[in-house]
Amino acid sequence: MNEIKMNKIVNTEKIVNLLSNYYPVHVMEDNYTGNPYKALVSCLLSLRTRDEITFPVAEKLFEKADNPYEMVKLSYEELCEIIKSINYYKTKAENILNISKILIEKYKSEIPSTMEELLAFKGVGRKTANIVISVGFQQPAIAVDTHVHRISNRLGLVFTKTPEETEFKLIKILPKKHWRTWNQILVLHGKATCKPITPLCHICPIINYCNQVFK
Ligand code: SF4
């Protein structure tokens, strides 16, 4: 039984329009759009690491190796040295080298574009796979991270316990044309305004479409 009172209609069309105008949406797009390998590697690097730390490291790495062939030329130690400022760099180095090797051996150095194949790589979860599909291949997919999960619930658009559950609900609710954008705008919104502990509702541009559900 749902005891939460829902007074406002969560108009996703309006929310997308308002937030797209409010934030500079294309930060990650500019860097990795249409390049699934870079999208994959940067996403692997970014897990549990802040963007401000991840992006410079990713750029430094891509100067040396921006494809599987160049990547496997790096030794494990060399790769660790390049990415050592990010969290869990040893595991990430191992996964990146391992995936690059498999890409060469099994996929002629191309990134596969299906969820099933992407999830078979060690270290790749649904969020990473969805980013590869949406950013790298520019196909509709909804990458749900902590911001997307939290805000979709606060809006009263979904009532879910896990990011995975949120992804499956959003797939049913959101028009396909907004799948890619939903991630971009909510990540920016989550960092700047709808923060985890202290959401800045008083300056929020979408307050008229938000039920402010705080669990
Ligand atoms: S900041 Fe407040 S009003 Fe805006 S989306 Fe978050 S919970 Fe809703």
Nearest CA, atom 2, ligand 1 = 201
Indicate which atom in ligand 1 lies nearest the CA of residue 206.
4
Based on the domain organization, do 20 and 78 belong to the same domain? Answer: no
Q: Is 21 found in the same domain as 71? A: no
Q: Residue 160, exposed/middle/buried by CB under 10 A (0-12, 13-18, 19+)?
A: middle
Q: Is 145 designated active site?
A: yes
> Any idea what the Cα angle at residue 130 is, between residues 165 and 168, rounded to 5°?
20
1 band by pLDDT with thresholds 50, 70 and 90: very low
The residue from 101, 136, 171 where one domain ends is: 136
Which residues span the domain enclosing 175?
12-27+141-209
Please indicate, yes or no, if residue 215 is contained in any of the structural domains. Answer: no
Residue 86: both structure tokens together: 């990010």
The residue type at 53: I
The domain total for the chain is: 2
Structure confidence at residue 25 (pLDDT): 65
Same structural domain, 93 and 45: yes
Are residues 153 and 184 located together in one domain of the fold? yes
| CB contact burial 77-94 (16+ within 10 A = b; e otherwise) | eebeebbeebebbeebbb
Q: Judge whether 8 counts as a catalytic residue.
A: no
**How far is residue 141 CA from its own chain's centroid?**
10
Do 163 and 94 fall within a single domain? Answer: no
Residue of 38, 92, 145, 169 marked active site = 145
pLDDT value, residue 31: 76
Per-residue confidence (pLDDT) for residue 24, from 0 to 100 = 74
CB 147 within 8 A of CB 183: no
130 and 177 fall within a common domain: no
Which ligand 1 atom is at minimum distance from the Cα of 204?
4
> For ligand 1, which residues put their CB under 6 angstroms from it?
151, 154-155, 193-194, 199-201, 204, 206-207, 210, 212
pLDDT tens, position by position, 178-191: 999 999 999 999 99
Q: Residue 148: which CATH number?
A: 1.10.1670.10
For residues 62 and 99, state if they share a domain: yes
User: Same structural domain for residues 115 and 44?
Assistant: yes
> Per-residue pLDDT tens for 88-108?
999 999 999 999 999 999 999
The one-character DSSP state at 86 is S
- 135, 176 Cβ separation under 8 angstroms: no
Looking at 118, 136, 154, the residue that finishes a domain is: 136
Residue nearest to atom 7 of ligand 1 (CA): 212
Q: What's the rounded mean pLDDT across residues 158-181?
A: 96
At which of 136, 165, 196 does a domain end? 136
- Inside any domain, residue 59: yes
Q: What is the mean pLDDT of residues 179-206?
A: 95
Which strand (E) or helix (H) includes residue 26? none
